[in-house]
C-alpha cells in the first residue's frame, strides 16, 4: 500500500500526492497552491486512432492520452454487442454495459424546485428553464465557502407545471444532483489493481499488443488512484474506476473545490451537471478529470508511455472543466496545471510530428492496417 | 411555466408602470391590489391558466385555454401576442409530457447534429424553429458529457414573425436561461437572436455572421412550412455550406383544401386526442398553422434534393435513442423509416405524423 504522506492539517486525511492534498485543502477553505505539473511544454497529443476512416486517425486530431484513445477506439469502432434490454442502449465495452444496467431505470432526477423526473432528457430540458437555476446561480455566487453548496439542497418550492409525468406515485430513491459532495453514491474501491482498460482480458491485451509492453503498461494504468477522496470503499462497482479514479467521489470533490471566488457558482453547478444522470461513459469522461496517470514525469521507467515518446499528461478528458475555466477569466490563472486544450490543438503541428503512434504501437505516419479489427478488439472484452 | 410566469410578471410590471404613470394620485399602498384590478384580461388569464395547470385542474384549464386561444393572436397587440406565445409554449410544455411530438424531432436532430459535429470544436447552429429553444439543453448536455474535445457552440436563433417588443422579451428570457445552462454544463456558448419578419427566403445571410472556421448546422423545426418561397430557402441554406441541415415538419399526406387551412391541424388534434392527451381538448388549433401549408415528406425531400442536398441517414445510435424515447410514452407511438423519402417518421398507430430528416450538401 502506498504511503499517504501528505496529510491535511484540518482533518488528517492522507494523500499520496501533494497536488491532491492541495485540492483537498481548498475544500477546507485553506490557502492552496497547485504547481504546474509538467514543465513548460504543452501536453502533446500523440495518440491516434488506428481506424483509418476515423477523424482521430489523423495526427492533427490526436488525443492526449492513451486510455482516452483506447476508450474512443472501442466505443466508436468496436462492435456494440452488449445491449440493455430496458432502453436499447448498446455498448462495446462489457463493463460499460454492466455499469449501465445498475442504473438504468432506477434513476430519478430531481430538480432544485422539487420536481422529479424519470426521464433524463426531460429533466435536462426542465433544468435549463427552471427558475431554480437562476436563483441558485445568484446564491452560490454569493457564497464564499464551498460547503455552501448544500444550499442547493433546499427545495425551492416553485409552482411547477407539467411536472412529474409519471404522476405522484413514483418513488424517488435516487437524486444524483443533490447528494452532498462528501457522500459517494457508488462506493468505489480505490485500490483496484486492474492493469488494463479491458479488465477481463488483461493478459490477452498484453499478448496481442506486443510491443506495447507488459509490466510497464501495468504501471501506467495502475497508478493507484490519485483519488481526491480516497475513502476506502467496499464494493467495486465500476470496472474502469482504476483508470478514472474514484468516479463519484472524485468528481464531486474535484468540482466542488474548484474555484475560490467568482466562478464558484459555475463549478458548483458544474458539479451537479456532472451528476446529472451520468451514464457510465459520462462518468468515465468526467471521472477522468480526476488526475490519473500521475507519477510519470517522463524521466522514469514508465516504459509504456516512453514508447510513445511523450510524457503522459493528466487527462482532462472532461472538457467541462476547461470550458468553465475559459468562460471565466478569473479562474484561468488558477488552473496552472491545465494548459488549455484548445491551445493545444491549435499549436500542435501535426501532433508532435513523427512521434505519433496509434495505441497499438504502430504509426510514424505509416499507413498500416490496425492490428486488430474492431470485431477482434471486442474479442478482448 | 417558470419562464412563462416571468413573462406574465413582465407584463404585469408593464401595466404597473402604465397605471403608475396615469394615476399618479393613487397611493402606493393600494398599488398592488389596484394592479390586480387594473390588470387586463390577458395577464389575468395567463396567471389563472398557469395556476390551473399546476393544480391539474383540467376542466378549468380547458376553459381558460379556450379563452386564451380566442383572445390571443400573433397579429394583435402586445397583450394578444403575449397570450398567443404563452399558449404556444403552454401547449408544447403540456403535451411534451404526454406526447413525443416535439421531442421526437429534437432527439433525432440533436443526434444527427452531434454526429455531424464529431471532432469539430467551433460549432455554429442556426436554429429556425418554433419550439422556443427547448431542443438545446439536451444538446448542450451531450456536448458537455459525450465528447472528447472542448467545443464552443454558437447558437443563432432566427425568430420568424411576432412583434418586436414581444420577441425581445421572450427571447431575452430564453437566451439568459440558455446561457446560464450552458455555463452549468461548462460549454462555452454564445447566443444570438435574429428577429426576421418577412419571408424566410429574404433572410439577410450576413446577419447570421457565419465564420469561416466554424462548422455549421442549420436546424429547421416546424419552420419551413411557414416560408412562401421554399426553394429559395433551400438554396439559401445550401449557400451557407453547412455540414448538416436538419428538418422536422409535421407530416401532411393529404392535400390541403382550397381555403388554405391545413388539414393536418385538425388531424393533429384528432390524433392527439386519440393519443390520450388527457389534459386539454383544444377546440381550435394553434393559429400559426392556419395560414400555412404543409407538404408531405416526399415533397420536402424533393425540394432538398433539388436544392443540392443529399440525405444523411440517422445513425443506429440515434435510432435507438428515438425508439427508447418512444417507449416511454403510451403504446401506439412508433418510429418508421421513410420509404419514399429520406428521414424517419413519428407514427401514431402507423399513421405518420411528424417527419424528421437530415441533409448535407
Outline where chain A has alpha helix (H).
Answer: 18-27, 66-77, 94-103, 120-129, 131-142, 202-209, 215-221, 241-244, 247-256, 264-275, 280-287, 303-307, 319-327, 329-332, 341-347, 374-379
> Which pLDDT belongs to residue B64?
77
Residues 30-69 of B with CB under 8 A from A: 50-51, 53-54
Task: Give the range among A271-275, B311-315, B325-329 with minimum mean pLDDT.
Answer: A271-275
Dihedrals phi, psi of B196, to nearest 5 degrees: -120, 120
Place of cell 404563452: B86
Q: Which pairing describes strands B244-250 and B215-221: parallel, antiparallel, or unpaired?
A: parallel
Which one of A193-202, A362-371, B294-303 scores highest in mean pLDDT?
A: B294-303
Whether residue A20 is contained in a domain is answered as yes
* Residue A22 counted as domain residue: yes
Give residue B103's pLDDT band: very low, low, confident or very high (50, 70, 90). Answer: very high
Q: Is residue A204 part of a domain?
A: no
The top-scoring range by mean pLDDT among A32-46, A351-365, B45-59, B147-161 is B147-161
Give the start-end residues of each E strand in B212-342. Answer: 215-221, 244-250, 310-311, 333-337
pLDDT confidence band for B67 (50 / 70 / 90):
confident
Domain membership flag for residue A4: yes
- State the pLDDT at residue B164: 86
Per-residue pLDDT at B91 exceeds 80: no
Work out whether the CA dihedral A97, A103, A104, A110 comes out positive or negative.
Answer: negative
Minimal C-alpha gap between A16 and chain B (Å):
28
Q: pLDDT digit string (tens) for A234-267?
A: 333 333 333 333 333 333 332 333 333 333 333 3
d(CA B214, CA B243): 10
Residue B359 DSSP symbol: E
Residue A298: name the closest of A15, A34, A91, A46 by CA: A46
> What's the mean per-residue pLDDT of chain B?
78
For the cut 90, the answer to whether the pLDDT of residue A233 exceeds it is no
Q: Where a domain ends, among A100, A128, A147?
A: A147
Query: Which of B186, B215, B317, B330 would you mutate first to test chain A, the one with the most A CBs within 10 A?
Result: B186
- Categorize the per-residue pLDDT at A107 as very low, low, confident or very high, splitting at 50, 70 and 90: low
Question: What angle (nearest 5°) sits at the alpha carbon of residue B313, between those of residues B308 and B316?
Answer: 165
Please give the average per-residue pLDDT across A86-98, as a whole number: 79
Instruction: Please check whether residue A306 lies inside any domain of the structure.
Output: no
pLDDT at B88 over 70: no
Residue A140 confidence (pLDDT) above 90? no
Look at chain B and count its residues. 361
- Taking the C-alpha atoms of residue B264 and residue B168, their distance in angstroms, rounded to an integer, is 30
pLDDT of residue B174: 92
Chain-wide mean pLDDT for chain A?
A: 51
Please give the Cα distance from B31 to B28 (Å, whole number): 5
More confident site: B166 or B95:
B166
Amino acid B74: pLDDT: 61
Average pLDDT for residues B4-12, to the nearest whole number?
52
pLDDT at residue number B114: 96
Looking at residue B183, its pLDDT comes to: 87
- The distance of Cα B167 from the centroid of its chain, to the nearest Å, equals 13
Q: CATH number of the domain at A18, please.
A: 3.30.160
Which residue intervals of B57-216 are DSSP H helices? 58-71, 78-96, 101-116, 136-145, 164-185, 205-208
Q: Do A324 and B328 touch (CB under 8 A)?
A: no
Contacts of A129 in chain B (CB under 8 A): 2-3, 134, 137, 174, 177
pLDDT digits (tens, 9 = 90+) for A20-57: 888 888 777 777 666 654 444 555 778 888 888 888 88
Asked which of A111-120, A216-225, B4-13 is least confident by mean pLDDT, the reply is: A216-225
Q: Number of structural domains, chain A? A: 2
The average pLDDT across B257-270 equals 46
Report whether pLDDT(B315) > 70.
yes
Nearest-neighbour CA in chain A from B283: distance (Å):
21
Query: What is the average per-residue pLDDT within B342-359?
Result: 92
Residue B212: pLDDT band with limits 50, 70, 90: very high
CB B135 within 8 A of CB B174: no
* Cα Rg, chain B, nearest whole Å: 21
Question: For B191-207, how does the pLDDT look when each residue is reduced to its tens digit (9 = 90+)?
Answer: 999 999 899 999 999 99
Q: In this prediction, what percent of chain A has a pLDDT beyond 70?
A: 29
Task: Answer yes or no: is pLDDT of A229 > 50.
Answer: no
Nearest CB to A162; choose among B1, B6, B185: B1
Does residue A222 carry a pLDDT above 60?
Answer: no
Identify which has the larger pLDDT, A349 or B162: B162
Domain contains A82? no
CA distance A2 to chain B (A): 31
A213 vs B320, more confident: B320
Q: Show the domain range for A1.
A: 1-29
Evaluate whether residue A23 is within a structural domain: yes
The domain segmentation of chain B, as residue ranges, is: 2-98, 103-261+294-360
pTM here? Answer: 0.51
Residue A263, burial from CB neighbour count under 10 angstroms (0-12, 13-18, 19+): buried
- How far is the CA of A280 from the CAs of A25, A122, B145, in angstroms? 28, 19, 11
pLDDT of residue B12: 54
Query: Residue A91 pLDDT more than 90?
Result: no
ipTM score of the complex? 0.73
Residue A27 confidence (pLDDT): 76
Cβ pair A96, A280 in contact under 8 A: yes
Cβ contacts (< 8 Å) between A72 and chain B: which residues? 148
State residue A26's pLDDT score: 75
Residues 6+ apart with CB under 8 A from A61: A48, A55, A351, B119
The HSE-up count of residue B153 (CA atoms within 13 Å, CB side) is 31
The reported pLDDT for the residue numbered A252 is 32
Predicted pLDDT of residue B54: 64
Tell me if A116 is assigned to some domain.
Answer: yes
Q: Considering only the beta carbons, identify the residue of B54, B138, B147 that sits closest to A319.
A: B147
C-alpha A146/C-alpha A269 separation (Å) is 12
Nearest chain A CA: its distance from B138 CA (Å): 6
Least Cα separation, residue B80 to chain A (angstroms)? 22
Number of neighbours of residue A123 by Cβ within 10 angstroms: 25
Contact: B184, A272; criterion CB under 8 Å: yes
Nearest one of A335, A293, A340 to A312, comparing CA atoms = A293
pLDDT grade for B104, boundaries at 50, 70 and 90: very high
* pLDDT at residue B135 greater than cutoff 70: yes
Provide the pairing of β-strand B122-129 with B152-160. Answer: parallel
Q: Which of A100-104, A376-380, B36-40, B80-84 has the lowest mean pLDDT?
A: A376-380
> Phi, psi (5° rounding) for residue A262?
-65, -30
Would you state the pLDDT for residue A143? 55
What CATH fold (topology level) applies to the domain B103-261+294-360? Rossmann fold (3.40.50)
Q: What residues form DSSP beta bridges with A74?
A: none
Sequential DSSP letters for A239-290: TTHHHH-SHHHHHHHHHHTS-SSTTHHHHHHHHHHHHTT--HHHHHHHHTTS
Contacts with B152 from chain A: Cβ below 8 Å: 342
- Closest residue of B to A123, CA-based? B138
Least confident of A30-34, B14-18, B282-286: B282-286
Please state, in angstroms and rounded to a whole number, the distance separating the CA atoms of residues A7 and A15: 6
Answer yes or no: is pLDDT of B305 > 70: yes
* Band of pLDDT at residue B92, cut at 50, 70 and 90: low
DSSP-derived pairing of the beta strands B189-196 and B152-160:
parallel
The C-alpha angle A18, A23, A25, rounded to 5 degrees, equals 90
The pLDDT confidence band at residue A175, using thresholds 50, 70 and 90, is very low
pLDDT at B245 over 60: yes
Contact: A88, B324; criterion CB under 8 Å: yes
Identify the pLDDT of residue B20.
Answer: 62
pLDDT at A7 over 80: yes
Per residue in A279-337, pLDDT (tens digit) is: 333 333 333 333 333 333 334 333 323 222 333 333 333 333 333 333 333 333 333 33
Average pLDDT score over residue span A100-114: 76
**Structure confidence by residue, pLDDT tens digits, A121-130:** 888 888 888 8
pLDDT beyond 80 at B311: yes
Which of A147, A173, A195 represents a domain boundary (last residue)?
A: A147
Cα-based distances in Å from B200 to A112, B235, B241, B349:
39, 12, 17, 34
Check residue A138 and give its pLDDT. 58
User: Which residues on chain A are in Cβ contact (under 8 Å) with B96?
Assistant: 122, 162
Amino acid at each position: 500500500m502506498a504511503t499517504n504522506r501528505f496529510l491535511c492539517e484540518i482533518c488528517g486525511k492522507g494523500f499520496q500526492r501533494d497536488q491532491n492534498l492541495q485540492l483537498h485543502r481548498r475544500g477546507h477553505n485553506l490557502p492552496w497552491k497547485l504547481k504546474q505539473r509538467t514543465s513548460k511544454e504543452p501536453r502533446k497529443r500523440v495518440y491516434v486512432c488506428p481506424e483509418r476512416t476515423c477523424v482521430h486517425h489523423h495526427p492533427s486530431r490526436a488525443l492526449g492520452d492513451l486510455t482516452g484513445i483506447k476508450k474512443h477506439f472501442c466505443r466508436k469502432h468496436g462492435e456494440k454487442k452488449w445491449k440493455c434490454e430496458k432502453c436499447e442502449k448498446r455498448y462495446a465495452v462489457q463493463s460499460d454495459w454492466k455499469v449501465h444496467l445498475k442504473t438504468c431505470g432506477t434513476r430519478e432526477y430531481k430538480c432544485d424546485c422539487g420536481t422529479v423526473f424519470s426521464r433524463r432528457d426531460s429533466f435536462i430540458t426542465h433544468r435549463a428553464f427552471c427558475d431554480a437555476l437562476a436563483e441558485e446561480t445568484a446564491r452560490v455566487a454569493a457564497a464564499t465557502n464551498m460547503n455552501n453548496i448544500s444550499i442547493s439542497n433546499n427545495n425551492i418550492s416553485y409552482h411547477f407545471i407539467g411536472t412529474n409525468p409519471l404522476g405522484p406515485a413514483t418513488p424517488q430513491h435516487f437524486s444524483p444532483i443533490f447528494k452532498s459532495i462528501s457522500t459517494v453514491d457508488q462506493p468505489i474501491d480505490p485500490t483496484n489493481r486492474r492493469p488494463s482498460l479491458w479488465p477481463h482480458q488483461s493478459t490477452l491485451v498484453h499478448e496481442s499488443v506486443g510491443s506495447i509492453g507488459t509490466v510497464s503498461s501495468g504501471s501506467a494504468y495502475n497508478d493507484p488512484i490519485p483519488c481526491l477522496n480516497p475513502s476506502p470503499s467496499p464494493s467495486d462497482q465500476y470496472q474502469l474506476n482504476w483508470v478514472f479514479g474514484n468516479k463519484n467521489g472524485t468528481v464531486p470533490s474535484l468540482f466542488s473545490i474548484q474555484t475560490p471566488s467568482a466562478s464558484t457558482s459555475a463549478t458548483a453547478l458544474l458539479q451537479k451537471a456532472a451528476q446529472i444522470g451520468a451514464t457510465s461513459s459520462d462518468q468515465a469522461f468526467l471521472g477522468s478529470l480526476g488526475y490519473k496517470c500521475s507519477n510519470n514525469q517522463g524521466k522514469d521507467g514508465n516504459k509504456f508511455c516512453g514508447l510513445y515518446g511523450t510524457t503522459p499528461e493528466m487527462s482532462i478528458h472532461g472538457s467541462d472543466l476547461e470550458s468553465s475555466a475559459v468562460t471565466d477569466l478569473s479562474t484561468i490563472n488558477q488552473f496552472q496545471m491545465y494548459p488549455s486544450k484548445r491551445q493545444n490543438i491549435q499549436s500542435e503541428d501535426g501532433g508532435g510530428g513523427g512521434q505519433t503512434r496509434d495505441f497499438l504501437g504502430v504509426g510514424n505516419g505509416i499507413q498500416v492496417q490496425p492490428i486488430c479489427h474492431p470485431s477482434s478488439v471486442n474479442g478482448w472484452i | 411555466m417558470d419562464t412563462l410566469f416571468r413573462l406574465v410578471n413582465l407584463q404585469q410590471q408593464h401595466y404597473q408602470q402604465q397605471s403608475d404613470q396615469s394615476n399618479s394620485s393613487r397611493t402606493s399602498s393600494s398599488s398592488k391590489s389596484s394592479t390586480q384590478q387594473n390588470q387586463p384580461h390577458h395577464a389575468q388569464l395567463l396567471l389563472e391558466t398557469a395556476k390551473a395547470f399546476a393544480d391539474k385542474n383540467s376542466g378549468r384549464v380547458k376553459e381558460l385555454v379556450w379563452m386564451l386561444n380566442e383572445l390571443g393572436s400573433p397579429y394583435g397587440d402586445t397583450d394578444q401576442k403575449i397570450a398567443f406565445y404563452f399558449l404556444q409554449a403552454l401547449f408544447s410544455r403540456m403535451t411534451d409530457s404526454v406526447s413525443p411530438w416535439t421531442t421526437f424531432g429534437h432527439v433525432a436532430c440533436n443526434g444527427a447534429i452531434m454526429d455531424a459535429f464529431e471532432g469539430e470544436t467551433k460549432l455554429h447552429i442556426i436554429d429556425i424553429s418554433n419550439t422556443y429553444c427547448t431542443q438545446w439543453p439536451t444538446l448542450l448536455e451531450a456536448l458537455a458529457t459525450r465528447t472528447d474535445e472542448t467545443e464552443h457552440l454558437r447558437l443563432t436563433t432566427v425568430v420568424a414573425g411576432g412583434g418586436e417588443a414581444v420577441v425581445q422579451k421572450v427571447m431575452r428570457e430564453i437566451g439568459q436561461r440558455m446561457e446560464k445552462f450552458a455555463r452549468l454544463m461548462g460549454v462555452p456558448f454564445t447566443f444570438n437572436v435574429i428577429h426576421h419578419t418577412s419571408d424566410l427566403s429574404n433572410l439577410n445571410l450576413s446577419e447570421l455572421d457565419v465564420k469561416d472556421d466554424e462548422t455549421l448546422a442549420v436546424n429547421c423545426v416546424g419552420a419551413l412550412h411557414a416560408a412562401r418561397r421554399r426553394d429559395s430557402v433551400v438554396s439559401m441554406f445550401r449557400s451557407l455550406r453547412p455540414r448538416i441541415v436538419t428538418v422536422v415538419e409535421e407530416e401532411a399526406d393529404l392535400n390541403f383544401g382550397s381555403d388554405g387551412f391545413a388539414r393536418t391541424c385538425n388531424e393533429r388534434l384528432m390524433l392527439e386526442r386519440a393519443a390520450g392527451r388527457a389534459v386539454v381538448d383544444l377546440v381550435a388549433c394553434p393559429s400559426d398553422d392556419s395560414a400555412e401549408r404543409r407538404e408531405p415528406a416526399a415533397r420536402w425531400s424533393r425540394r432538398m434534393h433539388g436544392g443540392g442536398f443529399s440525405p444523411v441517414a440517422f445513425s443506429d445510435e440515434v435510432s435507438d435513442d428515438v425508439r427508447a424515447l418512444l417507449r416511454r410514452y403510451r403504446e401506439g407511438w412508433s418510429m418508421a423509416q421513410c420509404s419514399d423519402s429520406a428521414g424517419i417518421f413519428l407514427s401514431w398507430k402507423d399513421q405518420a405524423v411528424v417527419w424528421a430528416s437530415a441533409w448535407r450538401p
